[in-house]
Amino acid sequence: MAQPTRARPVPTPETQHFWDGTRRGELRLQRCTACARSYFPPRPFCPACGSRKVEVYAASGKATLYSYVIHHRPAPGFTPPYAIAVVELAEGPRMMSNIVDCPQTPEALELDMPLDVVFEALDETITLPLFRPAKG
């Protein structure tokens, strides 16, 4: 029997570009061409001003650790303890993710530490953006 895996996202027409991006190693955000604001999660209009004139672009993949919990209970696809984090992207929006290549401890997980995106394929269609401590 297959090991239980983490919850698998199912894209919708409005989010497909994001998941197409991660599969190609790109973290795609959207930005409003009217008010220039970047936003997340995906939707085909700007949540700040309501304009439908928006564009998809590749974010830098740079972020900082904004907040987290370290979960100590069992979860499918995870070995506790593991951090459930929210990162703040250099472009402004925040997103939930996991922090990899890093001990899952309060000492190692310092708020505001710089992070870089990495991509982890769940299967042929879904790749998740995860983050690791920035090098150097």
Phi-psi region of 102 (alpha: psi -120 to 50; beta: other; left: phi over 0): beta
Between 40 and 69, how does the x/- string for binding to other proteins read (CB under 8 A)?
xx------------------------xxxx
**Residue with Cβ nearer other proteins (25 or 80):** 80
17 binds other proteins (CB under 8 A): no
Q: What is the CA radius of gyration of the chain?
A: 16
Q: Which helix (H) or strand (E) holds 20?
A: helix 16-23
**Does the footprint of other proteins cover residue 16 (CB under 8 A)?**
no
Between 70 and 89, how does the x/- string for binding to other proteins read (CB under 8 A)?
xxxx-x-xx--xx-xxx---
Q: How far is the CB of 48 from other proteins (least distance, A)?
A: 11
Estimate to the nearest angstrom the gap between the alpha carbon of 132 and the chain centroid: 11
* Minimum distance, C-beta of residue 34 to other proteins, in the bound complex (Å): 20
The nearest distance, CB 128 to other proteins, in angstroms, is: 6
Q: Give the CA dihedral 24, 35, 91, 61, nearest 10 degrees.
A: 10
Q: Are 101 and 111 in contact (CB under 8 A)?
A: no
Instruction: Supply the minimum distance, in Å, between the C-beta of residue 33 and other proteins.
Output: 22
Contacts for 30 with CB less than 8 Å, ≥ 6 apart: 38, 39, 40, 42, 43, 54, 55, 56, 57
Q: Which of 8, 24, 52, 53 binds other proteins (CB under 8 A)?
A: 8
Residue numbers of the site for other proteins (CB under 8 A)?
6-12, 15, 40-41, 66-73, 75, 77-78, 81-82, 84-86, 94-98, 106, 111, 122, 128
